[in-house]
Amino acid sequence: MKLHGLLSRCIAAAGSLFLCGSALAAVDVQVIAQGLNNPRGLSLAPNGWLYVAEVGSGGNGNCLPSPEEGQPPRCYGETGSLARVDPDGIAPVKRVITGLPSMAGPGGFAASSGPVDVDFWGTTPFIVMGWGGDPALRASAGPKGKLFGQVLWALPNGKYFPLADISAHETRRNPDGTDIDSNPYGILVQPGRQLVADAGGNSIVASGVFAWIFGHEVTRTFAVLPRTADDLDAVATTVVEGPDGYIYAGELTGAPFFRGASTIYRIPPFGGKPTPYVTGLTAVVDMAFDRRGTLYIVEIASGLVPGPGADPGVGVGRLLRKRRGHPVEVVLDQGLTFPSGIAIAHDGTLYMTNFGIFPGGGEVLKISVAD
């Protein structure tokens, strides 16, 4: 099951979440923004402002069958956006780009087709648009349906244009050799290229700005994440650059989200075979390195342990950290309900999106962690 399958099943679990206490006492958490619309990934601009990708809540437009059997149709609307958030929580949230396409089920909950992540190169934001399912269906979704599954290059005046079609790469190349299913979810922008974690394609896809300028094929397969030990899809969700210049990719895994089944992989700077870096994780949706090389990891489920009454704990979030030479530590496991993204400032302050599947109910947290 891909990422959109997790989201389509999460609402029923939301009313029965159990959150335990924080594992580290010296953790300060503040809510600095509320009322966000299915917020997912976020990034810090060079001037220190936060930018959050809001998937939106779909709308009353054309409806398409859900890619997951037995789930209600998802319907089109142009409710996706890129929001600017004051890192001190003083100024109100401002949506600097609006009208992006979005697909969601009834009530706008758990949307996965729309703006799902953002990253900066200089002052320029690059937005990745999620999809979920066969890329051939995008054009029938609505007037801006072809933007699903693409990387958008945004301009300071709020305009944008498509830069690379990640989902089309799944159709052309099908990197993992299974069904045609694309759901771009995480993005890393580097000089001359963007790396995108395709949760549907179980792969990391590279796109090049200069290839686009000179009319060459824009995308190539950077890496394919292996299937899990239980022969489940990897479901790539996040991609970052490490302090060593290598690329690190995190996986959600397919259902039933066994506890301890997720891995973070290390990939050579120019692509190639992934090797395990951190194992024993559960349902990883985002991660980020701080300036000291500590890796912070966001999980979105407590994980299933087989047995009577087994429950994967979908929505029960945790924030972990992996310091050099230390085992993985739990930083925070209180108050995280469907956390979706993380960004780290130069001073080590953490910012996270929370309630990431709720239209109008999402928030941004500011977290300070003492050593």
Residues 273-305: tens digit of each pLDDT:
999 999 999 999 999 999 999 999 999 999 999
Average pLDDT of the residues in 28-41: 98
- Residue 56 scores a pLDDT above 90: yes
What pLDDT, on the 0 to 100 scale, is given for residue 157?
86
What pLDDT, on the 0 to 100 scale, is given for residue 9?
47
Backbone angles phi, psi at 346, to 5 degrees: -60, -30
- Residue 309 scores a pLDDT above 60: yes
Neighbours of 266 (CB within 10 A): 16
Cα separation, 107 vs 206, in Å, equals: 35
Q: Which of 5-14, 27-36, 202-211 has the highest mean pLDDT?
A: 27-36
70 pLDDT tier (thresholds 50, 70, 90)? confident
What pLDDT, on the 0 to 100 scale, is given for residue 173?
96
CATH 3.40.50.300 fits 3-369, yes or no: no
Over the stretch 75-117, which tens digit does the pLDDT of each residue have? 999 999 999 999 999 999 999 999 999 999 999 998 889 999 9
Sequence-separated (6 or more) residues with CB below 8 Å from residue 141: 61, 62, 64, 76, 101, 103, 113, 148
Domain coordinates in residue numbering, the chain = 3-369
What pLDDT, on the 0 to 100 scale, is given for residue 348?
97
Mean pLDDT of the chain: 92
63 pLDDT tier (thresholds 50, 70, 90)? very high
pTM of the model: 0.94
Three-state SS at 46: coil
Average pLDDT of the residues in 215-236: 91
The radius of gyration of the chain's CA atoms, rounded to the nearest angstrom, is 18
Average pLDDT of the residues in 209-234: 83
C-alpha torsion sign, points 355, 145, 132, 201: negative
Cα separation, 348 vs 42, in Å, equals: 16
Over the stretch 107-166, which tens digit does the pLDDT of each residue have? 999 888 999 999 999 999 999 999 999 999 999 999 999 999 999 999 988 899 999 999
